[in-house]
Structures are given as structure tokens and as C-alpha cells.
């Protein structure tokens, strides 16, 4: 995967995460809505971590083959 595409994927996920966090101010005040929102936040957070780990693994593999 090209580096530009990886960066855009991470930035897209971060933008979604920021949007969900900000929705607290404008969303309904029901507990169920906030519970669903919190689950989405944690899921996006996990996706960002997985993407970062995949990028680090790919970078390490690239460095190992080009030494």
C-alpha cells in the first residue's frame, strides 16, 4: 500500500473519531445514544491502532529487505 494511501486512511479514521467525540455536544441526551457513540469511538480507536501496527510491521519488513 502506498505511503500516501496509508496516511490518508489514518487521517480519515482520526477525522471520524474527532467527529464522534464532538457529537457529544450536539447529540441526543439519551444514555443508549451515548453508549452506542462510546462503542464507535473505541472501535475507531482500535482501527487506528491496528493501522499503525500494520504500518510499523510493513516498514520493518521493508527495512529488513533493503539492508
Q: Which three cell numbers stand for residue 56?
A: 510499523
The 3-state secondary structure of 13-53, one letter per residue = HHHHHHHHHHHHHHCCCCHHHHHHHHHHHHHHHHHHHHHHH
Q: Which three cell numbers stand for residue 11?
A: 487521517
Confidence of residue 1 (pLDDT cuts 50, 70, 90): low
C-alpha–C-alpha distance, residues 45 and 49, integer Å:
6
Residues 6 or more apart whose CB falls under 8 angstroms from that of 58 comprise 1
Predicted confidence (pLDDT) per residue in 9-44, tens digit: 888 888 888 888 887 777 787 888 888 888 988 998
Amino acid at each position: 500500500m502506498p505511503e500516501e494511501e496509508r496516511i490518508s486512511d489514518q487521517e480519515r479514521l482520526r477525522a471520524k473519531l474527532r467527529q464522534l467525540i464532538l457529537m457529544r455536544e450536539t447529540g441526543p441526551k439519551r444514555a443508549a445514544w451515548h453508549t452506542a457513540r462510546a462503542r464507535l469511538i473505541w472501535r475507531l480507536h482500535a482501527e487506528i491502532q491496528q493501522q499503525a501496527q500494520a504500518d510499523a510491521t510493513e516498514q520493518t519488513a521493508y527495512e529488513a529487505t533493503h539492508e
